[in-house]
Structure 1
Amino acid sequence: MTLFNHHEKTLFYTALMFYTRIRVPVNTPYSEDLLAESRKYFTSIGLVIGAIACTTFLFFQLFLPLSISVMLSMISTVLATGAFHEDGFADSCDGFGGGWNANQVLTIMKDSRIGTYGTVALIGILSVKFGLLYELATISPAAWCLCTLSAHTVSRQHSSRVIEHHQYVQDIDKSKVKPIANKPLTHAANLFSNWVALAPCLLLALYSIEAVIIGMVSAYWASKILIQYSAKRIGGYTGDVLGAIQQVTEVLFLLVCVALI
């Protein structure tokens, strides 16, 4: 199967290396072309991160309260990704909240320091995420895991979709996201990515098909509104905007799950 040939392994390791802090074989080659092509596995990385969250939660809930187990699962995903998407969300809030024009917004986004807008927004979204995950934990461990896996894959697919259909904005400095933005995926690669995102949702549909449908539609429209706002303010998207889209759509999907399951 092509999924397991040497090139595909290299693409998966490249995606793992870029989107997470998980170690990959030291002899893994790197190039901008490989990085662009590795976006095929962005939703697969969502499965990996979701699996880390599920494993952590299932282990600790055996002997700790649900609230602590949920908190530790959240910490495990932040450690696994290096707060990759959370950082983008916070920077986007700082940039759009504090900048008056496109240049100011981009300059603030590139600042390594976090400001008031980013701090408040990050505390807010993590608090909401904790509350949603805790409510799901009271339903059943299986429902918690399926909702978590689905939220991680669906949210990453919407970030990937933005790259396919919208304009990348050159940052003040050369962005590490630029190689990904410069090369669209093939039809086959997009199809693979979509099916990976859909896989946990099909299992989640056994609990509530309404939650899956409304969750996916809500995430789609949220990503559409966010990218339209970004395009209006700065002419397109940056890597930070992609992180913000991932975080918002993940939380929104979980919100729908809590409401309907």
Structure 2
Amino acid sequence: MTFRSDMISAAMLLTRLPVRGEPTAPAARAAWAWPLVGLVVGLAAGLAGVAGWALGATPAVAATLVIAVSVLLTGALHEDGLADTADGLWGGAEPARRLEIMRDSRIGSYGVIALILLLLLRWSLIATALIQGHVLFTVIAAAMVSRAAMAVLMRWQPHARADGLSHGTGRPPAHAVWIAVALAALALLPAGAHGLAAAALVAAALWALGRVARAKIGGQTGDLLGACQQISEVAVLVALTSA
């Protein structure tokens, strides 16, 4: 397929942007473009924070704007996946029950706690990046790398169920994953040692999440990919804002 169809596919899958055209099918074949979608989301969200900061908003308010724009553009797709993953992985006694819980639209205690903790972490780290003066770079890098991590996990782990969003999306081809990883590496390159630390943290988080998912539900789902994005984003933010 073409660059245009791959970008349409990636935007349709990962955002609520009103894109039109013929998408690549299955959508996983366009996984290489997921970091580029992250670039768009991160740029818009980061600029909202910069604008708020320039207009006199406090770091806390400006950081809230960053998260709000990101959520609006993605429809809270990844946050929803994080909550469902937390409920499922720790709310059921066996794989079938865990998958059933993850599919339930209702949110439980584990999901609420996971959402609160991750949102607080993102908010405080973005506020720190604003104070440090590099919020635009930090937010964009985190958005790009975290979406590349999704492609890696999707390629690495098998589908945990025979239906659902992840199964319908397919499995990314190896070349698409390598391109996504290369784009993520380019996003981190200007950060030097902090970029290497970010890559290491994301790799560790990805490995841990993949192992837990394989043990508890037999592989990955769309919800788990959303959790992967959220956890990876926080990992990058931690590394890029550390002293």
Tell me the TM-score range normalised by the shorter chain. Answer: over 0.9
Q: Which residue is equivalent to 2:48?
A: 56
1:239 aligns with 2:231: no
Q: Which residue is equivalent to 1:194?
A: 181
Letter in 2 for 1:152: A
Q: Which residue is equivalent to 2:120?
A: 127
Query: Of the two, which has the highest radius of gyration?
Result: 1
**Gap regions ≥5 residues in structure 2:** none
CA distance in 2, matches of 1:31, 1:159: 18
Letter in 2 for 1:61: W
Match of 2:173 among 185, 209, 213: 185
**Gap regions ≥5 residues in structure 1:** 1-5
Q: Which residue is equivalent to 1:3?
A: none
1:137 aligns with 2:130: yes
CA RMSD of aligned residues (A): 1.6
Indicate how the Cα distance of structure 1 residues 192 and 110 shifts in structure 2: closer, same or farther if over 3 A, else same.
same
| % identity of equivalent residues | 28
Q: Which residue is equivalent to 2:106?
A: 113
CA distance in 2, matches of 1:191, 1:132: 28
Letter in 2 for 1:164: R
1:133-212 to structure 2, matched below 5 A, reads 133-140=126-133, 143-170=134-161, 174-181=163-170, 183-187=171-175, 189-203=176-190, 205=191, 209-212=192-195
CA distance in 1, matches of 2:109, 2:68: 22
Indicate how the Cα distance of structure 1 residues 58 and 212 shifts in structure 2: closer, same or farther if over 3 A, else same.
same
Q: CA deviation at 1:138?
A: 0.7
1:24 aligns with 2:19: yes
**Count of matched residue positions in the alignment of Structure 1 and Structure 2:** 242
Give yes or no for contact 2:141–2:184 (8 Å, CA) kept in 1: yes
1:223-238 to structure 2, matched below 5 A, reads 223-238=206-221
Q: CA deviation at 1:31?
A: 6.3
Match of 2:204 among 215, 221, 231: 221
**DSSP-derived class of the 1:119 partner:** helix
Compare 69-78 and 59-68 and name the one that shifted more: 59-68
Give yes or no for contact 1:44–1:197 (8 Å, CA) kept in 2: no
Give yes or no for contact 2:8–2:23 (8 Å, CA) kept in 1: no
Give yes or no for contact 2:8–2:22 (8 Å, CA) kept in 1: no
Normalised to the residue count of structure 2, the TM-score between the two structures is: 0.94
